[in-house]
Amino acid sequence: MDMSGKIKEITSKLGVNFIYKTSFDKSNRTSLKGKRGIGLEQSLPIFDKIKKELKIPILTDVHNIEQCSIVAKHVDILQIPAFLCRQTDLLVAAAKTKKIINVKKGQFLAPWDMVNVTKKISDSGNN
């Protein structure tokens, strides 16, 4: 809450809108010893508190299909990490939430191939 509150304070003074990006799990760490975050269950009440008290939109990554419907109840935007940008089941599950979806483009994907990624989302009913 401290960081999101401070950012809101700064952006409000500047007249700038912002979306607060936060993570409950950094699942792509290179080592098992790397810190991953506090986890989904502990993060959901924090997301709710930020939305209620600060009234700012929240974006967070989802890493599997099960997380999509759960996380969508607590944030405004679902983000698909770059490493997962072609995973059809994940894209479809995210699309079905009807939330805004931000898909990060993987370095392994040509820019024009992102059309296929966005088509998976729109063909699943999320425009």
For 34-46, how does the pLDDT look when each residue is reduced to its tens digit (9 = 90+)? 777 778 899 999 9
Closest CA to 117 of 61, 33, 126: 126
Closest CA to 63 of 88, 84, 41, 40: 84
In a domain, 66, yes or no: yes
Long-range contact list for 48-52, CB < 8 A, 24+ apart?
A: 48/74, 49/1, 50/1, 50/4, 50/20, 50/22, 51/75, 51/76
pTM of the model: 0.91
Q: Mind listing the pLDDT tens digit for each residue in 85-106? A: 999 999 999 999 999 999 999 9
**Residue that wins the pLDDT comparison between 30 and 13:** 13
Enclosing domain of residue 66: 2-7+18-28+35-122
- Domain of 91: which CATH number? 3.20.20.70
In a domain, 13, yes or no: no
Q: Mind listing the pLDDT tens digit for each residue in 54-83? A: 999 999 999 999 999 999 999 999 999 999
